[in-house]
Amino acid sequence: MSGHGHGHGHGHGCGCAGEHEPAERGLEYGLYQRIDLEKLQCLNESRDGDGKLVFKPWEERNQRDKFVESDADEELLFNIPFTGSVKLKGIIISGEDDDSHPAEIRLYKNIPQMSFDDTGREPEQAFRLNRDPRAELEYPTKIARFSSVQHLSIHISKNFGEESTRVYYIGLRGEYSEAHRHEVTICNYEASANPADHKVESIIPQTNFIS
């Protein structure tokens, strides 16, 4: 009896966590705001610029008016530059509930202007996807490999059998930090300290020489 009661209680606890999860996940999935959308590329999109539309707020993840569809075949390649450094922790990819949904993705980091010719190299991580029309499934990344990402490439290499692939939402979860803040601080310190040292050394001999 006690075992049954414990199991029931545990199940109820999980249900409560699930009810509160969406609001928390909405905050966690805010990395779309840190993408340099002007420089984002989507290769093999059927209409120019549509690849940018799938990086949108969490509360819009199930809207169907914005999407990207592949053109020549089922593959898509997103080149995503961030405005700083990102520690990527998870990704969600949502498509139609049919065979046009992505079935496999490959993630690469810090390879700007990546092309389909470059996708033969070993990815940092690859995932086989399930159909996820409601944007509910997160695929956790190996954080050690994605701890300092300035540029992320997502290669959708196949779908479930359709000639073209359709994507409604790509969600990125992680942490963001401003680019090169630490290095700039060090440079400023050196720039202000070193000239002062040289100034003191150079004035004394000049003064002596003049007098």
Kindly report, residue by residue over 184-206, the tens digit of the pLDDT: 444 344 444 444 444 444 444 44
- The single-letter code of the amino acid at 113 is Q
pLDDT reading at 41 higher than 80 = yes
Would the pTM of this model clear 0.85, i.e. be above it?
Answer: no
pLDDT value of residue 26 = 77
149-163 per-position pLDDT tens digit: 999 999 999 999 999
pLDDT reading at 23 higher than 50 = yes
pLDDT value of residue 65 = 97
pLDDT value of residue 178 = 86
| Mean pLDDT of all residues belonging to the chain | 83
